[in-house]
Structure 1
Amino acid sequence: MYGICNLSIVPLRAESTDQSEMVSQVLFGECFTILEKNKNWSKIKLSFDEYEGFIDNKQFEEISEELFHKISHQTHIYAGEVIDYITDVSGNLLTIPLGAHLPFYENQHFSINEKKFQFEGKVFSGAHSKNEIIQTAFIFLNTPYLWGGKTPFGIDCSGFTQMIYKLCGHKLFRDAHQQAKQGEVLSFIEESEPGDLAFFDNEEGEIIHVGIILKDYHIIHAYGKVRIDTLDHSGIFNNDLHTHTHKLRVIKKLI
């Protein structure tokens, strides 16, 4: 079985209950495989990054295997404004966030199953340069930190890096420790370019944080909010707290 998110922002939970931890979010237009389905909840695996979790059965609609594969393999087009809206043929409005997927988008129209929608806003499509990655990251400045979040209304550190790269046409896994396994290792900060990723670990050596490197030894990352701090060989120096908050582990070049 397969499904697609037909609401703006839906929580993806660790267990099949509303009280469970939100491990990520499913945005409008994202499709997935349904691994298990019971009366109220389904365990799913997202097509984009193969991330797994539980979604409320009332918050998605099922699609055919054929449609799932068509959507998964087409060129993805994403909504490009912090928030916008779509309309159906009856004129009903539905708000969608930055990064919502618009299946089969063409000439301001797209569809899910047999239902047709209109969208007149800005879109992201295709692969973009590192400079575009930086410009896109700035859109999220001052977004509040939210564990499991993926939108400009709340985002975590790896959700931030994943969404920026996704909007620019590049695939990252969901969690920081997964992203740290991608790309090419750089030995020194001096070798890095704006748009590369820096990863940080805890005392046990586990990767727990990630951010996007900017020019002149700065980094943009989600810590309390999406903010810009100083990056040095030790890690992140918080410009408000006047202390290091994260210990640098590795720098990776992905594009």
Structure 2
Amino acid sequence: MSDPRLTPDPALASQSRAAQVAVPVADLCRRPDGPRDRQVLFGEQVTVLHEASGWAYVQAEKDGYCGYVLQSTLGTPRNATHRVCVPATHAYVSADLKSPDLLSLSYGARVTVRAETKDFAETPQGHIPRGHLAPIDSHEEDPAQIAALFLGTPYLWGGNSRWGIDCSGLVQAALLACGIPCPGDSDQQEKTVGAPVSGAYQRNDLLFWKGHVALVVDGETMIHANAHAMAVSYENIADAIARIEAGGDGRVTAHRRPGV
């Protein structure tokens, strides 16, 4: 049976047009007015497959995830030139940090730079500090370092942004930034990212439980977005394994290594 998260519903695929997320973050819902499954960020591309009653049924370009977003959150696609490479940033009215801010953007948001000054990049949304942007085709090298940018971010089920993120959203943000393909949900990640390994933990290994995933920082420490702390936090691996099992959520189901 096909996964409806990744396979468009043929009964709804009445059109196919490109669009772009035009708000800082948009909920990708299971059904119109339904629960949030994931989120898509400013500048991310989607294919609109169906539209009705103010909702658009879309498939996200970054991971193929299907769901509903409000039509009002979508705009005309632009060719992005840069991505936000810091936890969050602002777009300002002018190339002046004291000018009014127009828009807040999370890590991973995609923008189109039209011109640059010494300190700012001009985009259709306003002026963004140059140091907060990286070329769209550039890749980071250390997923755990990217995950650490989200330390303290509030836990949010289905979240993908600096304002709220969940375990699989954190892992996806970290891996995609490093050019490693990664689906949106932890069960999908457990099946497709890297390969199973055993033995000592290495930096950037992934540990899975039923419905949860964490990223290894070193042989004793992991980082994860978790409901225990209600935030992205570091935790001792042995302590976390014992705590999660004692809480009734079972043992580690997989230990995988991206890039293997």
Q: What TM-score do the two structures reach when normalised by structure 2?
A: 0.77
**Distance in 2 between residues matched to 1:8 and 1:184, nearest whole Å:** 30
Counterpart Cα distance in 2 of 1:49 and 1:110: 29
The equivalent of 1:144 in structure 2 is 154
| Deviation of the 1:84 alpha carbon | 1.4
Pair 1:37 & 2:51 matched: yes
What is the correspondence of 1:107-186 to structure 2 with a 5 Å cutoff? 107=116, 109=121, 115=124, 117-121=126-130, 122-125=132-135, 126-129=138-141, 132-186=142-196
Q: SS of 2:104's equivalent?
A: strand
TM alignment of 1:1-255, pairs within 5 A? 1-17=17-33, 20-63=34-77, 77-87=82-92, 93-103=102-112, 107=116, 109=121, 115=124, 117-121=126-130, 122-125=132-135, 126-129=138-141, 132-190=142-200, 192-201=201-210, 208-224=211-227, 225-232=231-238, 236-238=241-243, 246-255=250-259
* Residue type of the alignment partner of 2:218: K
Contact 2:107 2:162 in 1 (8 A): yes
Q: What is the CA-CA distance between 1:230 and the residue it aligns to?
A: 2.5
Q: Cα 1:246–1:157, aligned 2, differ >3 Å: closer, same or farther?
A: farther
TM-fit CA distance, 1:196: 1.6
Structure 1 residues 216, 93: closer, same or farther in 2, change over 3 A? same
- Going from structure 1 to structure 2, the CA distance change for 1:166 and 1:124 (only over 3 Å counts) comes to farther
Q: 1:235 to 1:26 in 2, by over 3 A?
A: same
Matched residue, 2:4: none
Identical amino acids, percent of aligned pairs: 22
Where 1:181 maps in the other structure, the secondary structure is: helix
Q: State the distance in 1 between where 2:22 and 2:93 align.
A: 12
1:211/1:219 contact within 8 Å kept: yes
* Residues 14-59 of structure 1: CA deviation (Å, up to 9, x unaligned): 1112xx2011111110110001011311000001101111111111
SS in structure 2 at match of 1:94: strand
Moved more, 136-145 or 119-128: 119-128
**8 Å CA contact 1:235, 1:246 repeated in 2:** no
**2:242 maps to amino acid:** F
Deviation at 1:167, TM superposition (A): 2.5
Secondary structure, in 3 states, of the residue corresponding to 1:180? helix
* Runs of 5+ consecutive residues of structure 1 not aligned to the other structure: 202-207
CA contact (8 A) 1:235 1:244 kept: no
RMSD of aligned residue pairs (Cα, Å): 2.8
Unaligned runs of 5+ in 2: 1-16, 95-99
> How far apart are the structure 1 equivalents of 2:85 and 2:122?
15
- For the residue of structure 1 that corresponds to 2:252, the secondary structure is strand
